[in-house]
């Protein structure tokens, strides 16, 4: 029996995580939409600079191109609040170097107000709107989307809504077009380097400000294969104008994927259309895995289980669960640097010599739950909690984490693992996370 819109899911989701391609979208409450970003073959959107791109790397950037150093800080928006993502970025202690290419001027450097939209870009956007049977808005109003990774010198991206409510025809069936926008492309990253003052990211400004058409579909995509079919159909429509850029990087797809037992996840930068079905299938397997792992952990802690239908989630219950988990798994960091005095790992030796410390987080009764590297039937890594934790740690500015399920490994030997367990007073059922980081944190147990 397939998924019917409005139907409530009461049965537990079925499917084998190790065979992602065999998961059945209909019975898992699969939903998917695509966002396509296509560069236009015009000049820049809000300056009259040329849309030329320069084939340079960090090693071949001409010495005479000027460079400017900046730091971004979180500021309050019109509503008086500081954006959560901006606040997080400000904690990462990052600086940015912008390389000014010949087609980047004061507007790209955010030293001059932007000019009105490029008229060719407006014309192409309206042409695509007509091809998609979308309805143009009565007034083009430029909006600002916050950008926190430094890829825009102003700290935001200028975006204008052009049309809404269109339809794309595909072989599997029609896909709604929620909106079509005209926006600026970002600067191109050349290099990331570690300095004594934190991480420094170097950007080339040649791409910054190029016009992009953004097309967002409704969640009408019915399967991973239909997502590929939809991306191909959108690309076909855009090429009909004969006024869009071609080649690697000129068009990018973002995938919005969810299961009824999971949550919407945006997968950015899918450039190879042939990979779209596999990427979506792996995300389905990931959401299914973490739904099951979550309920396994909740059951072991005598906590209410997650419902298989996220629409029926009770917020009061989830607030109580969050409070209970905070009690059972407190953020109780320990400095265990002394356990690694004899460690032979090059990364650990280098980090400690540069003034970092090894922090440890005990996780009661989580031994075996963090996971080890295993492959599925398609030779892709199976989802595991350790990989998610490492990804979150990297967002905070460190290179990753070690965890007890995978140790000894990476130059961390059994003797150090034993020493950490003794230091933290852990039982065989307990796990721990290790993180090598600058000694800037406060409130760490010794």
Mapped to the 3 state alphabet, what secondary structure does 160-188 carry?
EEEEEEEEECCCCCCEEEEEEEEEECCCE
Q: What is the pLDDT of residues 226-279, one digit of tens each?
A: 999 999 999 999 999 999 999 888 999 999 999 999 999 999 988 889 999 999
Summarize the confidence of residues 89-101 as an average pLDDT.
Answer: 88
* Residue 344 contacts residue 413 (beta carbons within 8 Å): yes
Summarize the confidence of residues 268-295 as an average pLDDT.
Answer: 95
- 294 within some domain: no
- 8 within some domain: no
Question: What is residue 82's predicted lDDT score, i.e. its pLDDT?
Answer: 80
CB atoms within 10 A of CB 89: 21
For residues 375 and 256, state if they share a domain.
Answer: no
For residues 269 and 338, state if they share a domain.
Answer: no
Q: Is the pLDDT score of 64 beyond 90?
A: yes
For residues 262 and 384, state if they share a domain.
Answer: no
Q: Parallel, antiparallel, or unpaired: how do β-strands 198-204 and 94-99 relate?
A: parallel
Q: Is the pLDDT score of 143 beyond 70?
A: yes
Question: What is residue 446's predicted lDDT score, i.e. its pLDDT?
Answer: 45
- 149 within some domain: yes
Residue 403 tokens read as 């965890």
- 317 within some domain: no
- 63 within some domain: yes
- 69 within some domain: yes
For residues 129 and 241, state if they share a domain.
Answer: yes
Residue 116 tokens read as 């009105």
Confidence of residue 5 (pLDDT cuts 50, 70, 90): low
For residues 171 and 69, state if they share a domain.
Answer: yes
Of 347 and 164, the structure prediction assigns the larger pLDDT to 164
For residues 247 and 338, state if they share a domain.
Answer: no
As to burial, measured by CB atoms within 10 angstroms (0-12 exposed, 13-18 middle, 19+ buried), residue 274 is: exposed
Q: What is the pLDDT of residues 99-122, one digit of tens each?
A: 999 999 999 999 999 999 999 999
Residue 257 tokens read as 């994927």
Q: Enter the pTM of the model.
A: 0.89
The residue from 232, 249, 275 where one domain ends is: 275
Distance CA 36, CA 208 (A): 18
Q: What is the pLDDT of residues 343-371, one digit of tens each?
A: 999 989 988 998 899 999 999 999 999 99
- 235 within some domain: yes
Question: What is residue 443's predicted lDDT score, i.e. its pLDDT?
Answer: 44
User: Before 408, cis peptide (omega within 30)?
Assistant: yes
For residues 119 and 201, state if they share a domain.
Answer: yes
The residue from 228, 245, 275 where one domain ends is: 275
- The SS3 call for residue 362 is strand
For residues 72 and 197, state if they share a domain.
Answer: yes
Domain that holds residue 419: 334-438
For residues 57 and 206, state if they share a domain.
Answer: yes
For residues 362 and 264, state if they share a domain.
Answer: no
Confidence of residue 377 (pLDDT cuts 50, 70, 90): very high
Measure Cα distances from 147 to 38, 159, 255 in Å.
19, 12, 19
* Residue 40 contacts residue 245 (beta carbons within 8 Å): yes
Domain count, the chain: 2
Q: Is 274 left (phi over 0), alpha (psi -120 to 50) or beta?
A: alpha
Cα 335 to the chain's mean position, in Å?
Answer: 30
> In the chain, pLDDT over 70 holds for what percent of residues?
97
For residues 80 and 183, state if they share a domain.
Answer: yes
Distance CA 286, CA 73 (A): 34
Question: What is residue 15's predicted lDDT score, i.e. its pLDDT?
Answer: 95
Q: Is the pLDDT score of 297 beyond 60?
A: yes
* DSSP, residue by residue, 245-299: --STTSEEEEEEEE-TTS--EEEEEE--GGGHHHHHHHHHHHHHHHHHHHHHHHH
Q: Kindly report the average pLDDT of the chain as a whole number.
A: 92
Residue 419 tokens read as 């020493």
For residues 120 and 258, state if they share a domain.
Answer: yes
- 326 within some domain: no
Residue 146, strand partner residues: 156
**Any idea what the CATH number is for the domain that residue 351 is in?**
3.30.1360.30
The residue from 257, 275, 293 where one domain ends is: 275
């Amino acid at each position: 029996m397939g998924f019917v819109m409005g139907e409530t899911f009461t049965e537990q989701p079925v499917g084998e995580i190790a065979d992602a391609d065999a998961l059945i979208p209909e019975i898992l409450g699969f939903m998917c939409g695509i966002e396509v970003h296509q560069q236009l073959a015009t000049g820049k959107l809000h300056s009259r600079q040329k849309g030329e791109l320069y084939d340079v790397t960090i090693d071949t950037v001409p010495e005479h191109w000027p460079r400017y150093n900046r730091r971004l800080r979180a500021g309050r928006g019109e509503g008086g609040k500081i954006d959560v993502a901006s606040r997080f970025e400000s904690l990462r202690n990052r600086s940015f170097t912008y390389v000014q290419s010949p087609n980047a001027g004061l507007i790209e450097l955010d030293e001059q107000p932007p000019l009105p939209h490029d008229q060719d870009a407006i014309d192409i956007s309206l042409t695509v709107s007509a091809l998609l049977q979308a309805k143009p808005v009565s007034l083009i109003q430029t909006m600002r989307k916050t950008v926190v990774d430094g890829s825009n010198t102003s700290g935001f991206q200028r975006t204008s809504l052009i049309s809404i409510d269109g339809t794309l025809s595909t072989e599997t069936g029609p896909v709604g077009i929620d909106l079509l926008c005209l926006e600026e492309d970002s600067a191109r990253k050349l290099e990331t380097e570690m300095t004594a003052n934190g991480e420094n990211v170097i950007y080339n400004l040649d791409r910054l400000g190029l016009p992009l058409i953004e097309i967002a579909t409704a969640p009408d995509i019915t399967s991973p294969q239909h997502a590929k079919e939809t991306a191909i159909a959108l690309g076909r429509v855009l090429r009909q104008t004969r006024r869009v850029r071609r080649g690697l990087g000129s068009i990018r797809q973002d995938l919005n994927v969810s299961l009824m037992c999971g949550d919407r996840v945006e997968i950015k930068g899918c450039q190879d259309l042939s990979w779209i079905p596999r990427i979506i299938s792996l995300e389905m397997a990931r959401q299914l895995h973490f739904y099951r792992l979550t309920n396994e952990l909740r059951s072991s802690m005598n906590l209410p289980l997650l419902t298989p239908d996220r629409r029926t989630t009770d917020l009061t219950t989830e607030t109580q669960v969050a409070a209970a988990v905070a009690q059972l798994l407190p953020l109780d960091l320990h400095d265990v640097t002394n356990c690694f005095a004899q460690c032979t790992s090059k990364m650990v030796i280098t980090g400690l010599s540069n003034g970092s410390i090894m922090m440890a987080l005990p996780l009661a009764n989580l031994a075996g739950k963090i996971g080890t590297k295993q492959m599925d039937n398609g030779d892709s890594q199976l989802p595991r909690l350790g990989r998610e934790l490492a990804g979150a740690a990297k967002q905070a500015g460190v290179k990753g984490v070690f965890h007890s399920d995978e140790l000894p490994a990476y130059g961390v030997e059994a003797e150090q693992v034993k020493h950490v367990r003794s230091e933290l007073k852990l039982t065989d059922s307990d796990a721990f996370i290790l993180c090598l980081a600058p000694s800037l944190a406060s409130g760490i147990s010794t």
